[in-house]
Amino acid sequence: MFNQLAERFDLIFKNLRGLGKITDSNIQQTSREIRRVLLDADVNFKVAKEFIDRVKGRAQGTKVLKSVKPGEQFIKIIHDELVTLLGSESKPLDLGSKKPGVILLAGLQGSGKTTTCGKLAAMLKKDGKSVLLTAGDVYRPAAIEQLVKIAESIDVPVFEQGVGDPVAICQSAVEEAKVSKKDVVILDTAGRLHVDGEMMTEIQEIAEAVDPSEILFVVDGMTGQDAVNSAEAFSAALKLSGTILTKLDGDARGGAAVSITEVTGVPIRFIGVSEKMDGLELFDPKRIVDRILGFGDVVTLVEKAKAVVDEKEAKELEKKIKDATFDLEDFRNQLNQLKKMGPLNQIVGMMPGMNSKMMKGLDLDDRQLLWTDAIISSMTPAERKNPDIINGSRRSRISKGSGRSLQEINQLLKQFAEMKKMMKKMGKMKIPKNLKQQMLGLN
């Protein structure tokens, strides 16, 4: 899911990370790139334009700020705006105080309503709630059968009256749920085209008759631009409280997700990630954006580490850390391996807890890797083995040899000392052993 978006943003960020300064021209260029990425992912052009305008505006604002890491700041703006665009926060079902709470599902034909009814019921049931499913799609006998089958599979009762008036059926279902003291009624409705006025009126009547706690718009995540049109129509007809985006386990390009929140003004609440009854996840904008932008993802980190760290080397390294014989030569090797894994800040960002206090004082700029390499190369083997012998005159020799300032030499030595300290802490850290080993590429 969202792989395409993720890959493309990754490229943009690679360029941004190297930025020494935010300027009009790099704001322009980045905006153009983002625009292309969004449009290729099927994000509605108006939504894309507004998004870019907001990012541009904020980037302009930071242009004058003297920032330590302008590129990172730019990335943060994009990140924050994407989270906002996707609705900021996750919002679980809110059934209010009424009993039963009523959930009405609406959407186009084949969008996944009936399946999602079952998934929601299964989720609520797991939460200890009693649920009544309702067959409000009376136009196809198969639709009722489908719901009955789903209900059986999760062991939840169904209210059905065969063919009849959907408004009356839904009302009766709520009455029935009251009598049998159910916590929640979920109403499955017929798929309708937004251009079909009669059918749109019908769903409005159902909503008026049962006064739902949640009116959820179910939309197929694989649909691109069309999703925006139907979202507009459904949100004009009904007081939607959220969207459920289905079929995101396919190769959905993610554009619909990005556009729909902006168009409907209501958040995406859940995403469908399989055909099965447990294939529904609470939608968490921050987590999704982090996923799209490659932040804070341990799994990816482990994969990346595995790809570049050879097992034998990793074991040797672990031993060195344990024995405290880790020297500057090893430090340089480590940095080179990190370099192979991708932008440093991204790597560090993926390590849980690593971007907090522990990393303070470590300045992670990718260009610095090259300079660090130059500095360490200008040291003698003895100095690399035992940095403590690097006194003032050795420092100035190294500075001349590497073409870097004395201050940088000092900083590197300090960094190395910090890193050793950090590794000692890592040895003592209370993270599960296998995670630590994974991070070191040991399994």
Ligand X SMILES: Nc1nc2c(ncn2[C@@H]2O[C@H](COP(=O)(O)OP(=O)(O)OP(=O)(O)O)[C@@H](O)[C@H]2O)c(=O)[nH]1
Give the residues lining the site for ligand X (CB under 6 A): 107, 109-115, 137, 143, 191, 246-247, 249-250, 272-275, 279
**Which of the listed partners (Mg ion, ligand X, none) does 115 bind, with a CB threshold of 5 to 8 Å by partner kind?**
ligand X
| Closer by beta carbon to Mg ion, 110 or else 381 | 110
Give the separation between CA 106 and CA 192, rounded to whole angstroms: 8
In whole angstroms, the minimum distance from the beta carbon of 218 to Mg ion comes to 9
**Which of the listed partners (Mg ion, ligand X, none) does 247 bind, with a CB threshold of 5 to 8 Å by partner kind?**
ligand X
Structure tokens at 140: 């196809």
| Closer by beta carbon to Mg ion, 143 or else 398 | 143
| Closer by beta carbon to Mg ion, 137 or else 284 | 137
| Closer by beta carbon to ligand X, 119 or else 332 | 119
Residue 339: half-sphere exposure toward Cβ, Cα within 13 Å: 15
| Nearest in space to 130 (alpha carbons), one of 93, 189, 176, 185 | 185
| Closer by beta carbon to ligand X, 44 or else 116 | 116
Q: Quick check: 244 and 271 in contact, CB under 8 A?
A: yes
Give the separation between CA 285 and CA 288, rounded to whole angstroms: 5
**Which of the listed partners (Mg ion, ligand X, none) does 378 bind, with a CB threshold of 5 to 8 Å by partner kind?**
none
Q: How far is CA 181 from CA 38, 91, 100, 129, 238, in A?
A: 47, 26, 7, 11, 27
| Closer by beta carbon to Mg ion, 113 or else 304 | 113
Supply the DSSP string of 210-251, one letter for each residue. H--SEEEEEEETT--HHHHHHHHHHHHHS---EEEEE-TTS-
User: Among positive and negative, which fits the CA dihedral 274, 150, 138, 106?
Assistant: negative
| Closer by beta carbon to ligand X, 199 or else 423 | 199
Give the separation between CA 324 and CA 419, rounded to whole angstroms: 12
- x/- map, 381-420, Mg ion, by CB under 5 A: ----------------------------------------
In whole angstroms, the minimum distance from the beta carbon of 274 to ligand X comes to 5
**Which of the listed partners (ligand X, Mg ion, none) does 279 bind, with a CB threshold of 5 to 8 Å by partner kind?**
ligand X
In whole angstroms, the minimum distance from the beta carbon of 263 to ligand X comes to 20
438 interacts with Mg ion by CB under 5 A: no
Q: Quick check: 423 and 321 in contact, CB under 8 A?
A: yes
| Closer by beta carbon to ligand X, 100 or else 112 | 112
In whole angstroms, the minimum distance from the beta carbon of 113 to ligand X comes to 3
| Nearest in space to 40 (alpha carbons), one of 17, 7, 67, 13 | 7
| Closer by beta carbon to Mg ion, 113 or else 286 | 113
**Which of the listed partners (ligand X, Mg ion, none) does 112 bind, with a CB threshold of 5 to 8 Å by partner kind?**
ligand X
Cis amide prior to 100 (ω within 30 degrees):
yes
**Which of the listed partners (Mg ion, ligand X, none) does 272 bind, with a CB threshold of 5 to 8 Å by partner kind?**
ligand X
DSSP structure class, residue 94: -
Residue 443: half-sphere exposure toward Cβ, Cα within 13 Å: 6
Give the separation between CA 429 and CA 435, rounded to whole angstroms: 11
In whole angstroms, the minimum distance from the beta carbon of 220 to ligand X comes to 8
In whole angstroms, the minimum distance from the beta carbon of 117 to Mg ion comes to 8
In whole angstroms, the minimum distance from the beta carbon of 112 to ligand X comes to 3
Binding part of the chain for Mg ion, among 106-114, 272-280, 367-375, 403-411 by CB under 5 A, reads 106-114
| Closer by beta carbon to ligand X, 279 or else 387 | 279
DSSP structure class, residue 88: S
Task: Report the residue closest to ligand X, judged by CB.
Answer: 191
In whole angstroms, the minimum distance from the beta carbon of 130 to ligand X comes to 22
In whole angstroms, the minimum distance from the beta carbon of 6 to ligand X comes to 20
**Amino acid in position 414:** K
In whole angstroms, the minimum distance from the beta carbon of 368 to Mg ion comes to 57
Q: N- to C-terminal Cα distance for the chain? A: 26
- x/- map, 110-139, Mg ion, by CB under 5 A: ---xx-------------------------
* Number of residues this chain uses to bind Mg ion (CB under 5 A): 2
DSSP structure class, residue 358: G
- φ, ψ of residue 393 to 5 degrees: the values are -70, -35
Give the separation between CA 335 and CA 333, rounded to whole angstroms: 5
Q: Quick check: 311 and 441 in contact, CB under 8 A?
A: yes
Which residue ranges make up the site for Mg ion (CB under 5 A)?
113-114
